[in-house]
Amino acid sequence: MTAAAAAPALPPVRARNADLTAWLAVIAGAIGALMATLDISIVNSSLPTIQGEIGASATEGTWIATAYLVSEIVIIPLTAWLERVFGLRRFLLVMAALFTLFSIACGLATNLTEMIIGRVGQGFTGGAMIPTGMTIIATRLPRHQQPVGTALFGSTLIMGPVFGPLVGGWLTENYNWHYAFFINVPICAILMTFLTVGLKHQTMKLDELKQADWLGIVGMAAGLGGLTVVLEEGNREQWFDSPLIWQLSAVTLAGFVLIGLGQYFAPRPVVRLALLRNRAFAAVFVLGLLIGAVLYGTAYVIPQFLSAIAGYNAQQSGGIVFLSGIPAAMMMPLFPLLVARVDLRIAVMIGMLLMAGSCWIDFELTSQSSGSDFYLSQFMRGLGQAFSMLFLNQAAIASVKPNEAGDASGLFNAARNLGGSIALALLATLQDRRFEFHHWRLLDAIPANSGAVQDWVQSQTGGPGQDAALGALSTINQSVLREALVMSYTDEFVALALAIVIVLPLVLLLRPLQRGHHKLAMH
């Protein structure tokens, strides 16, 4: 027997688990991401009430939501650079404190200008807390516990947009719309406490300011901001019939030119668009756009349908939207097991098919439909979003080098929000166009000279008379308008389903994780 054989076997080395402070930091990252995504949609349910109290028209009131989304889309890709300059702990504490102040400003706003300033500030500071959540997980948790943190963080990104309408509607119906903003104050206090305890102090690297990609930074603000506003306002302004849309389009083009110049001349571009030349990551980016479109698009369409067709109030509509968040919460404890055993391409494929199927089910909606008709589709949609979002985040990081993970995370998160912005604009345009189409098509199907129509009009009026006949015809037109509106909503769900099916083959380009390894974004 050799000495090596005689030597006793060493016990396996067990990886050390994260301590309480690390988990407090992870929870803080999840809370920050939840607040940032929740505040995108928390005003949707209470928007009519807010507009009335601050004296804003329906068109002006949409800027309350748009202002937040624009600033959030701009800041997300810049977060990795700002984090390097100021240090993660200091940066997040400042952002959380400013988010609190801007939330108070929104709650105290008495006119549209004050509200928009507050919402812009909320978007900039809240958006910075979305991608940094993954950084905390990557830096504070050991590798074997990172999937648990990823599941916690990923579920908040799904829960935020669907929880927002419910929270906003409940607060508006039972208390006041101001509390939709004031609720952030105690939550931010908890967040800042956890950040202080859970993260370590880091020195600032102000020399990064001298070497910064200022062309890219200015271009990001102009390009992404201008594009988002064009998409949000294009339909209301009749697109390129409006001088405003032409001007904003010029600003958008100039911004993208500056971003392109920064890619060539900056020592370290603020966002590495070269990552999109990687087929695997480009597939992740496009799929992220579609997931954002479905996530924010359905959260926009469903409350509108329930309000216009079923007569639901803000709280009731929010409750139906929230149903899709239940599967995400159920998936959270299972994700660490699934990510180690299921090929992410299969998981994303299942998720996308579930989302497409949920939208196709909603094609069957009628003018008699109510919230209960969304139960099955909402659960399917939530389960599909959970599979897609959680596994696609892993695919984003698996497709790039470790030193590119931070830029990949920023682009992926920006893609999700940009997809939502594009969806809201295109769905609004589609609804208007299809509503007019269905309205006139249905009217053409009712010949005025039909004996059956004339007999019905006479039965409703009780006899001859021009005023009575006009009233009966108006009743017919109202029924036609209602049916046309329902058909325009169902067309939106079909459009989302078809869009998912069209991009579905991109799943085959995703790069799976190596077995036993769970890479995560790290700025």
Please give the Cα distance from 262 to 99 (Å, whole number): 30
Residue type, 195: L
Which of 111-120, 187-196, 460-469, 492-501 is predicted least confidently?
460-469
Helix residue spans in 362-465 (DSSP H): 375-398, 405-444, 451-461
- 521 — pLDDT class (breaks 50, 70, 90): very low
Q: For residue 370, how far is the Cα from the chain centroid?
A: 25
C-alpha distances in Å from residue 324, one per residue of 17, 215, 252, 361, 506:
33, 41, 34, 14, 25
Run of H or E residues at 247: helix 243-265
Residue type, 488: S
Identify the DSSP state of 10. P
Residue 496 is predicted with a pLDDT of 92
Residue 329 is predicted with a pLDDT of 74
What does the DSSP assignment read for 143-154?
GGGHHHHHHHHH
What mean pLDDT is predicted for residues 364-373?
87
Is 415 in contact with 275 (CB distance < 8 Å)? no
Q: What share of the chain is helix, strand, coil (3-state, %, to 5)?
A: 80, 0, 20
What mean pLDDT is predicted for residues 74-78?
81
C-alpha distances in Å from residue 397, one per residue of 236, 254, 273, 393, 402:
38, 30, 15, 7, 8
Is 497 in contact with 360 (CB distance < 8 Å)? yes
- Least Cα distance to 476 among 455, 499, 502 occurs for 455
pLDDT winner (highest mean) among 40-54, 181-195, 299-313, 389-403: 181-195
- Least Cα distance to 148 among 335, 21, 4 occurs for 335
Domains 19-206 and 275-447+466-523 share a fold: yes
Q: Please check the confidence at residue 78 and state whether its pLDDT lies above 60.
A: yes
Residue 468 is predicted with a pLDDT of 54
Q: What separation, in Å, do the N-terminal and C-terminal C-alpha atoms of the chain show?
A: 52
Residue 459 is predicted with a pLDDT of 58
Identify the DSSP state of 310. I
- Per the structure block, which two tokens stand in for 253? 């083009």
What mean pLDDT is predicted for residues 433-460?
69
What does the DSSP assignment read for 405-427?
HHHHHHHHHHHHHHHHHHHHHHH
**The CATH classification of domain 275-447+466-523, taken from the options 1.10.760.10, 3.50.30.30, 2.40.128.280, 1.20.1250.20:** 1.20.1250.20
Please give the Cα distance from 229 to 337 (Å, whole number): 41
- 449 — pLDDT class (breaks 50, 70, 90): low
Q: How many CB atoms lie within 10 A of CB 19?
A: 10
pLDDT winner (highest mean) among 68-72, 170-174, 366-370: 366-370
| Number of residues written out for the chain | 523
Residue type, 473: L
The verdict on domain 19-206 having CATH code 3.40.50.2000 is no
What does the DSSP assignment read for 461-499?
HTS--HHHHHHHHHHHHHHHHHHHHHHHHHHHHHHHHHH
- Least Cα distance to 318 among 307, 330, 328, 334 occurs for 307
Sorted by where each begins, the domain ranges of the chain are: 19-206, 213-269, 275-447+466-523
- Least Cα distance to 281 among 385, 388, 401 occurs for 401
Please give the Cα distance from 318 to 326 (Å, whole number): 13
Residue 355 is predicted with a pLDDT of 92
pLDDT winner (highest mean) among 53-62, 203-212, 508-517: 203-212
Which of 143-152, 448-457, 486-495 is predicted least confidently?
448-457
Q: How many CB atoms lie within 10 A of CB 54?
A: 18
Contacts 24+ apart (CB under 8 A), 178-182: 178/107, 178/108, 179/107, 180/42, 180/43, 180/46, 180/107, 181/103, 181/104, 181/106, 181/107, 181/118, 182/103, 182/104, 182/107
Tens-place pLDDT, residues 170-206: 887 788 888 888 988 998 898 888 888 888 877 877 7
pLDDT winner (highest mean) among 120-124, 145-149, 265-269: 120-124
C-alpha distances in Å from residue 499, one per residue of 101, 161, 360, 423:
40, 21, 12, 11
Tens-place pLDDT, residues 265-313: 877 777 777 788 888 888 989 998 888 888 888 877 888 888 888 888 7
Given phi > 0 = left and psi -120 to 50 = alpha, else beta, which region is 463? left
- 97 — pLDDT class (breaks 50, 70, 90): very high
Residue 455 is predicted with a pLDDT of 59
Tens-place pLDDT, residues 453-467: 555 555 555 555 555
- Per the structure block, which two tokens stand in for 232? 């949000």
Q: How many CA atoms lie within 13 A of 248 on its CB side?
A: 19
Run of H or E residues at 302: helix 279-305
Residue 498 is predicted with a pLDDT of 93
What mean pLDDT is predicted for residues 57-84?
76
Which residue would you say has higher pLDDT here, 48 or 454? 48
The helix/strand/coil state of 449 is coil
Tens-place pLDDT, residues 231-248: 777 777 777 788 888 888
- 4 — pLDDT class (breaks 50, 70, 90): very low
Helix residue spans in 306-404 (DSSP H): 314-322, 325-331, 335-341, 344-361, 375-398
- 87 — pLDDT class (breaks 50, 70, 90): confident
